[in-house]
């Protein structure tokens, strides 16, 4: 078995400017946020990001000026941000390229990439302004993911005649994930919802997984039905406890409402967000320094699950 364990800065240095990536997790859950902060510190630029329902993980990269192009479905953070603030500002001021799909369409695109297929059909997207040729589409040949330069294509099923939308596969250079447990060899265990992590990982050339716990592979192999991503699909493993903060990790810690509010307030303007980055990314030059900056062990203890559920029922969430 190979040892794929790297340090956070070493793993981040793999991701070059101009790369295409996808990020695991969903809105406020299980993002590899510590790894994203390290990408920002290393001044990675011009990323193309494929996503389904992202939150302040991707919004952080956008606000830090790391992203050139977006293809995805949703960027917001539940109660904390009805619209992801940096995303909104960057789109409204034409600072970023974007192409809209639906969650089902992005699921089909990642699944196609994972299955080695060039496209998949979906019943979604039909009748919406996301379809090319409709008023709302912004398709420009050569700029979309498909080699044909086509965002999506309406087609009658050759068997039944039913109308379907075909969407091109995503094949990204990197997939960045955060999971509960990993072995040094890269076998990954996910607890709670998988979101779309498995398909995103298998649709990427290189997978970097940060994890809460590095565990002996023999322990993971005792319950193979709980393991989700095989080691041959994973290229780097980085143990990063609290590596998703301010987002939550089922069975490990809750999302941090205080910090997410702070983030979403700061992300509403360039000036305030520059200060946020200075305080929590550049000024806190390591993950340990970041955890101190957000309140240290005392705050982190308040996020830990109790009462037999995978979150903290006593956490103060409303303002």
Restricting to residues 135-194, name those near other proteins by CB under 8 A. Answer: 135-138, 154, 162-164, 192-194
What would the two tokens of residue 80 be?
């904390």
- Interface residue with other proteins among 38, 57, 254, 256 (CB under 8 A) is 254
Residue among 45 and 261 whose Cβ is closer to other proteins: 261
Least distance (Å) between residue 125 CB and other proteins: 7
Question: Is residue 76 a contact residue for other proteins (CB under 8 A)?
Answer: yes
Would you state the structure tokens that stand for residue 206, as one six-digit string?
């290189």
Q: Are strands 172-182 and 188-189 parallel, antiparallel or unpaired?
A: antiparallel
How far, in Å, CA of 109 to CA of 126, rounded?
A: 16
Q: How many Cβ atoms sit within 10 Å of the Cβ of residue 202? A: 18
CB of 15 to other proteins, least distance (A): 24
Helix axes 56-63, 33-41, angle to 10 degrees: 0
| CA atoms of 193 and 209, how far apart (whole Å) | 17
Instruction: Considering the complex, state which of residue 12 and residue 203 has its C-beta at the smaller distance from other proteins.
Output: 203
The end-to-end CA distance of the chain, in Å, is 49
Can you tell me which of 83, 153, 184, 215 binds other proteins, judged by CB under 8 A? 83
Closest CA to 101 of 57, 63, 150: 150
x/- string (CB under 8 A) for other proteins, residues 187-226? -----xxxxxxxx---------------------------
Of 13-21, 36-44, 233-241, 253-261, the window that binds other proteins (rule: CB under 8 A) is 253-261
Footprint on residues 84-103 left by other proteins (CB under 8 A): 84, 87-88, 91-92, 94, 100-103
Binding letters toward other proteins, positions 277-316, x by CB under 8 A: ----------------------------x---xxx-x---
> Residue 76 or residue 281: which is nearer to other proteins going by CB?
76
Task: CB nearer to other proteins: give 44 or 87.
Answer: 87
How far is 279 from 276, CA to CA, in rounded Å? 5
| Residue 208 vs 303, nearer CB to other proteins | 303
C-beta of 49: minimal distance to other proteins in Å? Answer: 13
Ramachandran bin of 207, using left for φ above 0, alpha for ψ from -120 to 50, beta for the remaining angles: beta
Nearest to 297 by CA among 227, 230, 242: 242
CB-based contact 284:293 (threshold 8 Å): yes
Q: Both tokens of residue 223? A: 């319950």
Q: Looking at residues 21 to 60 of the shown chain, list those that interact with other proteins (rule: CB under 8 A).
A: 25-30, 52-53, 55
């Amino acid at each position: 078995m190979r040892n794929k364990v790297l340090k956070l800065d070493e793993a981040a240095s793999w991701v070059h400017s101009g790369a295409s990536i996808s990020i695991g997790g969903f809105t406020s859950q299980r993002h590899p946020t510590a790894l994203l902060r390290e990408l920002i510190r290393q001044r990675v630029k011009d990323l193309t990001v494929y996503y389904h329902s992202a939150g302040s993980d991707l919004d952080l990269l956008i606000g830090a000026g790391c992203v050139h192009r977006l293809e995805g479905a949703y960027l917001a953070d539940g109660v904390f941000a009805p619209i992801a603030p940096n995303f909104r500002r960057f789109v409204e001021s034409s600072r970023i390229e974007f192409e809209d799909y639906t969650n089902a369409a992005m699921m089909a695109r990642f699944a196609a990439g994972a299955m080695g297929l060039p496209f998949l059909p979906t019943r979604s997207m039909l009748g919406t302004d996301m379809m090319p040729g409709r008023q709302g589409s912004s398709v420009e040949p050569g700029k979309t993911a498909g080699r044909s330069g086509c965002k999506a294509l309406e087609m009658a099923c050759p068997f039944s005649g039913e109308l379907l939308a075909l969407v091109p596969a995503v094949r990204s250079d990197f997939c960045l994930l955060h999971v509960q447990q990993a072995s040094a060899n890269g076998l990954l265990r996910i607890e709670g919802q998988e979101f779309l992590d498995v398909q995103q990982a298998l649709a990427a050339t290189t997978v970097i997984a940060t994890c809460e716990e590095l565990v002996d592979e023999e322990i993971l192999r005792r319950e193979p039905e709980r393991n989700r991503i095989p080691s041959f699909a994973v290229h780097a493993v980085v143990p990063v406890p609290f590596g998703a903060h301010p987002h939550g990790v089922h069975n490990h810690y809750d999302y941090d409402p205080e910090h997410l509010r702070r983030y979403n307030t700061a992300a509403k303007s360039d000036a305030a967000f520059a200060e946020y980055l200075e305080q929590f990314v550049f000024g806190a030059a390591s993950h340990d320094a970041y955890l101190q900056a957000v309140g240290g062990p005392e705050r982190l203890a308040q996020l830990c699950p109790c009462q037999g559920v995978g979150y903290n029922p006593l956490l103060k969430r409303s303002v």
